[in-house]
Amino acid sequence: MKLQIENLTKTYSNKIKALDNVNLKIGKGMFGLLGPNGAGKSTLMRTIATLQSPDSGTITFNEIDVLTDQLSLRKVLGYLPQSFGVYPKMSAEELLNYFALLKGISIKKERDELVDKLLDITNLTDVKRKNVDGYSGGMKQRFGIAQLLLNSPKLIIVDEPTAGLDPAERQRFLNVLREVGTNSTVIFSTHIVDDVKELCNDMAILNGGKILKHIKPVDATTEIKNKIWIKVLERKDLDKAEKEFNILSSNYNVDNSLTIRVFSEKKPGVGFKKSEPQLDDVYFIALKEDQLEESIK
């Protein structure tokens, strides 16, 4: 089970390069696509999901040439876009039945059974006769998962699914995703590092249409072990520190002092303590390096 993306490039008519020669190999399991807003995540996901066509490049999934044989991919695809609407005045049950039809489940009994089961899994059974357009954000997202699972997808693409969910909803969502992700390829885009940390066995960082880093989360932190330093300083010293150090992040403490995290091969200076590397650091390092490169160009 392998998704292979080669030399994928896409430029929009407003001259923005959304994808810039993207190459990726993604295997089974949860794959996290990390990147800030506007990095090109959605473009990449939509392109894999056959919604958009790139200017050049190829995508293959298990021998399926995604860009020319879209229908074959759609048969094994489960896709949940960043935001979606529903037809008004249709209940979850009706709507799932509708999608089941679209997804080629021809026997009515099987359709009903499957829809029931999915409603159960996503904990929507109580509200299955209510119109989906009246659902709360979390319920709607769960409905999204239910429709995604209808065709037992081999390739699952979920675009920033946890944005706007309350903690409990988010947890539940990730759990379900994890549960179904064990037997298929799940591509999961987010700008929340924790999502990736908790779920993914593989990840990539995307910004400005380019893959900045493709690495396993486990390896990612190992790579920068002993290179992350922290220091507590006063607010007024921040400007100076920013010039001196490669600051990855700075956070307020309760007493109005700041804790800064610095990436450095060796101890950057007085008052710095070594800190356990986190995935956030990997993310910020990648973005920083990219920024630097871009400014040199």
Residues engaged in binding another protein (CB under 8 A): 12-13, 46, 49-53, 68, 71, 74-75, 77, 79, 81, 83-89, 98-99, 101-107, 110-111, 113-114, 117-118, 121, 123, 136, 138-139, 144, 147, 149, 151-152, 166, 168-169, 172, 175-176, 179-180
CB of 85 to another protein, least distance (A): 3
- Distant-in-sequence, close-in-space partners of 155: CB < 8 Å, separation ≥ 6: 3, 48, 61, 73, 76, 77, 78, 184, 185, 187
Rounded to 5°, the CA angle 206-209-215 comes to: 25
Q: How far apart, in whole angstroms, are the C-alpha atoms of residue 282 and residue 248?
A: 9
Whether residue 221 contacts residue 242, with contact meaning beta carbons closer than 8 Å, is answered with no
Q: Which is nearer to another protein, 22 or 105 (CB)?
A: 105
CB count in 10 Å sphere of residue 275:
16
Q: Which is nearer to another protein, 12 or 252 (CB)?
A: 12
**Residue (84 or 252) nearer to another protein, CB:** 84
* Residues sharing a CB contact under 8 Å with residue 142, sequence separation 6 or more, in sequence order: 122, 123, 124, 169, 172, 173, 176
What is the nearest approach in angstroms of another protein to the Cβ of residue 228? Answer: 33
CA distance 134 to 90: 10
Residue 259 backbone phi and psi in degrees, to 5: -110, 125
Cβ closest to another protein, residue 106 vs residue 295: 106
The SS3 assignment for 101 reads: helix
Smallest gap from Cβ 271 to another protein, in A, equals 43
- Please report how close the Cβ of residue 198 comes to another protein at its closest, in angstroms: 13
At 34 the three-state DSSP class reads: strand
Which of 145, 151, 43, 6 lies closest to 84 in space, CA to CA? 145
User: How far is residue 173's CA from residue 255's CA, in Å, rounded to a whole number?
Assistant: 35
Closest separation in Å from C-beta 37 to another protein = 18
The C-alpha R_g of the chain, in whole angstroms, comes to: 22
Q: In terms of CB distance, is 62 or 123 closer to another protein? A: 123
Between 118 and 260, CB nearer to another protein: 118
CB of 208 to another protein, least distance (A): 18
Q: Which is nearer to another protein, 86 or 285 (CB)?
A: 86
The least distance separating another protein from the CB of residue 211, rounded to whole angstroms, comes to 22
Query: Pairing mode, if any, of strands 29-34 and 202-207?
Result: parallel
